[in-house]
Amino acid sequence: MVSSVSKWLLLALVAVGLDVLAAPLAQAQGLRRRHLIYLRDKTGTPYSVSQPQAFLSARSVARRTRQGIPVLPRDLPVNPAYVAQISNVAGNPQIMYTSRWFNAVLVACDSTVLARIQALPIVRSATTLNRNYLAPAPTAPPVQATPTVNRTQATRAQYGPAYRQNLQIGATAMHDAGFRGDGMHIAVFDAGFPGVNQIPALQSVFQENRLAGTRNYVDGGFNVYNRDAHGTNCVSAIAANQSGFYIGSAPKATFHLCITEDIYSEHPIEEANWLAAAEYADSAGVDIISSSLGYTTFDAPSRSYTYADMNGRTAISTRAATFAARVGMLVVNAAGNEGDKPWHYISAPADADSIISVAAVDSMGNRAFFSSYGPSSDGRIKPTLAAMGLAAAVLGQTGNAFRGSGTSYACPILAGMVAGFWQANPTLTAQQVIMALRSTATQANNPDNELGYGIPNFVTAYNALHPNAPLATKAEAGAAEALGIYPNPSGDGPLTLVLPTALQGQPLQVRVLDARGAAVLQQQLPAVRGTEVPLPMARLAKGVYTCEVSAGATRRTVKFTQQ
């Protein structure tokens, strides 16, 4: 706990951005709002750009070096002496965290103490970021285990309901080529991650020591397995790795989980949390930030943004995302779900320059009705790219797979592919990765403000960079003609058929045969749009079965096991 650390040691640790987060604000006495205190300068700082190892990890320095990005004065920590002056103001202000890029200190205090802080000569200005405090949500209930799965199924069955969203952006071919995000660090910013430490499909992250860090900027401390499950949904789309049940887009990446969002209120404090998390990600050497968050309208009396503010330089989170891009991280952010609402446009920080703002499409590549429109208010094309966000498959906090919609889900799905693409092309800079994906996406020659440059594809982008050694796509073509079924093995739950192209959009004849070849089920299914069809049936006895699906002269079969 922070309370066990001496005051001066705490100030030093906070200044360098090490592993110290303030105690929950609820411990403070009275109404202690959070204020971002902007400092005048970094004069007299003990830190130097010539010795970045004093405040940046070796991985962070290496990321800059690979991309030819120098360490600049903006990267220097806040002067610890200035932090000490603020901490010593009468009234015991609580130092929450500091910002290197903004040269600012986040402080919890009442209005009287704030006035004293503002009177200090070192202070340039102050902004109040919240008006209330709400307790965190209760811890998530225990997770129910999912069935053990056979890890030798065909491609479609391996991915389960996540197959189509991975196939659409070439992530299945990326995995076949050996690029699953190994060695890439992804930071996920969200509202909570309950169940992530227990869900069977995510256990390989822990078993293989690929959880590199956790931060809770809402409550303080390092526990992130609580609050809202939106973060669980999002990280599962990248990290899940349970063959036959669900595979995410970068199942071998290393993760940093950060709670920055408080779903119980909407104030700019959450953007400051985003800033703090981005600076942590920078110092820890993160490669990619996946953020399914957006800010437009705040609770009174905080001032809401207008579309004019979506100009890439106004919102706190937008400025933070821009700084993150400038130090060589690749920021992937949801464009927003305001396309069918009065706001209509992208939200912050999706308006930031030099990042990927992600629109949502359906499984056929059509724009989702809710996906926010561009351009940024200063006329730049937004969103940047698109991925499946309408009826996308994600995992809930109990480990169940379900379909949900939002650019929130398109964002991590694409972020995982970005990780694999960068792994496959490690000499590229973050901006070169963005350019490679943009220039080969489906609308590269005619970008618009609905889907930006369109839907990127790993194979297309990779082959454009490697024309003399292109990836073969025969395996994908063959998989597209195979019948799939999940979950496999099956338990008490329903089964879902994954249809090859030849069976889609037609009435279907379905037979299920036991090991002796006797039919245990025969039924007709109506034609449906899409690739997946529920297969209603009573529970079968344990054993191996063959499912045969026909449409006219076309027939496909797949074996499955009933446990």
pLDDT in tens, 58-81: 999 999 999 999 999 999 999 999
d(CA 410, CA 416): 10
Spacing of C-alpha 199 from chain mean position = 17
153 has pLDDT over 70: no
How many CA within 13 A on the CB side of residue 242? 26
Looking at residue 308, the DSSP 8-state letter turns out to be G
Instruction: Return the percentage of the chain with pLDDT > 70, whole number.
Output: 88
Contact partners, residue 541, CB within 8 Å, separation at least 6: 562
Cross-strand pairs, 291: 189, 333
Element (H, E) at 328: none
d(CA 256, CA 242): 20
Cross-strand pairs, 303: none
> What is the pLDDT, as a whole number, of residue 155?
66
Cross-strand pairs, 188: 257, 290
Spacing of C-alpha 144 from chain mean position = 24
- Residue 501 binned pLDDT confidence (cut-offs 50, 70, 90): confident
The pLDDT of 85-108, averaged and rounded, is 97
Q: How far is CA 326 from CA 146, 319, 354, 429, 434, in A?
A: 42, 11, 8, 11, 13
Cross-strand pairs, 295: 348
d(CA 348, CA 164): 29
d(CA 244, CA 148): 9
Domain coordinates in residue numbering, the chain: 2-128, 157-465, 481-562
Looking at residue 2, the DSSP 8-state letter turns out to be G
**Residue corresponding to tokens 């100009």:** 311
Q: Give exposure, 86-124, as e/b (b: 16+ Cβ within 10 Å).
A: bbebeeebbbbbbbbbbbbbbbbbeeebbeebeeeebbe
Cross-strand pairs, 123: 39
232 has pLDDT over 80: yes
d(CA 407, CA 155): 26
Q: Where are the alpha helices (DSSP H) in 390-457?
A: 407-424, 430-440
Length of the chain: 563
Give me the CATH topology for the region 481-562: Immunoglobulin-like (2.60.40)
What single string gives the DSSP state of each residue in 190-208? ESB-TTTTT-GGGHHHHHT
CATH code matching the domain that covers 157-465, chosen among 3.40.50.200, 3.40.605.10, 3.10.129.10, 3.40.50.620: 3.40.50.200
20 has pLDDT over 80: no
Does pTM surpass 0.85? no
Contact partners, residue 118, CB within 8 Å, separation at least 6: 37, 125, 126
21 has pLDDT over 70: no
d(CA 446, CA 168): 20
Residues annotated as part of the active site: 190, 230, 408
d(CA 339, CA 383): 12
The residue that leads in pLDDT, 481 or 36, is: 36
Q: How far is CA 399 from CA 7, 195, 250, 395, in A?
A: 42, 8, 18, 6
E strand map for 252-329: 254-259, 288-291
Element (H, E) at 35: strand 33-39
Spacing of C-alpha 104 from chain mean position = 26
Q: Which two tokens stand for residue 278?
A: 């981005």
d(CA 67, CA 53): 17
- Residue 485 binned pLDDT confidence (cut-offs 50, 70, 90): confident
Element (H, E) at 97: strand 94-99
Q: Which two tokens stand for residue 72?
A: 């600049």
Looking at residue 473, the DSSP 8-state letter turns out to be -
Cross-strand pairs, 376: none
pLDDT, the chain, mean: 89
230 has pLDDT over 80: yes
SS3 call for 532: strand
d(CA 561, CA 542): 7
| CB atoms near residue 58 (< 10 Å) | 10
The pLDDT of 196-222, averaged and rounded, is 97
- Residue 144 binned pLDDT confidence (cut-offs 50, 70, 90): very low
The residue that leads in pLDDT, 155 or 326, is: 326
Which of 6-20, 55-69, 145-159 has the weakest average pLDDT?
6-20
**Nearest in space to 160 (alpha carbons), one of 100, 92, 246, 67:** 246
Is-contact 424 462, C-beta < 8 A?
yes
Q: Report the amino acid identity of residue 496.
A: T
> What is the pLDDT, as a whole number, of residue 147?
32
Highest mean pLDDT among 43-52, 474-483, 502-511: 43-52
Element (H, E) at 156: helix 155-159
Interval 377-421: pLDDT, tens: 999 999 999 999 999 999 999 999 999 999 999 999 999 999 999
Cross-strand pairs, 357: 333
Is-contact 385 455, C-beta < 8 A?
yes
509 exposed, middle or buried (CB, 10 Å; 0-12, 13-18, 19+)?
middle
